[in-house]
Amino acid sequence: GAVVSQHPSRVICKSGTSVKIECRSLDFQATTMFWYRQFPKKSLMLMATSNEGSKATYEQGVEKDKFLINHASLTLSTLTVTSAHPEDSSFYICSASVREFSYEQYFGPGTRLTVT
């Protein structure tokens, strides 16, 4: 149980275009989803926390208009990188949790974004 999927696993896009990454909890309802960014050989940096049906809470320094997060249902959150640039190339990982049971986060497999 507690499986989180991400789609796509890899995406290459041209500079100036937008790309959407989906995060789904497959066998549980996730009250909260988290989006992380990881640069090569670096740690995970929390970008934002989203709760179903409400606006995401972004970490300091993360551009809300650049990284649009939507948590439309208890099993789906999306991250849209708008007007992508090469510096947005990174490994994006989502996680999901069910707050009332624990602070446990279940991590997705990650999405490798390359902007050319």
Partner 1 sequence: ELKVEQNPLFLSMQEGKNYTIYCNYSTTSDRLYWYRQDPGKSLESLFVLLSNGAVKQEGRLMASLDTKARLSTLHITAAVHDLSATYFCAVVTITTSGTYKYIFGTGTRLKVLA
CB of 43: closest distance to partner 1 in angstroms? 5
Q: Closest distance between partner 1 and the C-beta of residue 16, in Å?
A: 27
Q: Give whichever of 31 and 78 is closer to partner 1, judged by the CB atom.
A: 31
Instruction: Say which residues have a Cβ less than 8 Å from residue 110's Cβ, sequence separation at least 6.
Output: 6, 9, 38, 91, 92, 93
Report which secondary-structure segment, H or E, holds 37.
Answer: strand 32-38
Q: Which of 13, 68, 70, 110: binder of partner 1 (CB under 8 A)? A: 110
Nearer to partner 1, 16 or 109 (CB): 109
Residues 48-67 that bind partner 1 (CB under 8 A): 49, 51, 57
Helix (H) or strand (E) holding 24: strand 19-25
Name which position in 19, 34, 79, 98 contacts partner 1 (CB under 8 A).
Answer: 34
| Angle, vertex CA 87, rays to CA 84 and CA 93, nearest 5 | 80
Residues in the chain: 116
